[in-house]
Amino acid sequence: MTTNGRAQQPNRATRLRWLLDRDGHTCIWCGREFSSVRIPTTDHLVPRVKGGPSWLENEVAACRRCNRTRGHISPVDWLADCERRGWRPDADRVLRALTAFADAVLERGGQRRARPYLQAQLRRMRRRTSAA
Ligand SMILES: [Zn+2]
């Protein structure tokens, strides 16, 4: 992969494999293990409608149910929602991924729409972590 944000990203199947290698074979939102009946999907941390790019750094692996149920809800709101539902979301993974995405944006530039959204999410996520 190059550091040029406009460079072509690997296709979705390749990205998904890479995400599973990076994060393990569990859904970030419910913690359940992926299987032939619980198929992993790529979920955008910063939703596409908020300008989030299909970069590996903006993607996490989520099961179809969680991905679909989340819709365009922000990652921090959705994380709290998952906890209210009694699921076991991986808050550390969310913070790690948001941080890596922010680093990638700094390095590559651009993403003017996603940037303020991402920064607000990171601030909320760090507050959340320090309050815990
Ligand atoms: Zn899930």
pLDDT tens digits for range 5-29: 455 678 889 999 999 999 999 999 9
- Cα of 26 vs centre of ligand 1, distance in Å, is 8
Q: How confident is the model at residue 1 (pLDDT cuts 50, 70, 90)?
A: very low
Give, to the nearest 10 degrees, the angle between helix 75-84 and helix 91-108.
Answer: 170
Residue bearing tokens 């941080």? 99
Residue bearing tokens 């910063």? 46
pLDDT per residue as tens digits for the range 68-83: 999 999 999 999 999 9
- Cα of 24 vs centre of ligand 1, distance in Å, is 13
Sketch the domain layout of the chain as residue ranges: 12-131
Beta-bridge partners for 63:
40
- Cα of 131 vs centre of ligand 1, distance in Å, is 25
- Cα of 3 vs centre of ligand 1, distance in Å, is 31
Global pTM value: 0.89
- Cα of 32 vs centre of ligand 1, distance in Å, is 6
d(C-alpha 37, C-alpha 100), whole Å:
30
* Inter-residue contact 89 to 31 (CB < 8 Å): yes
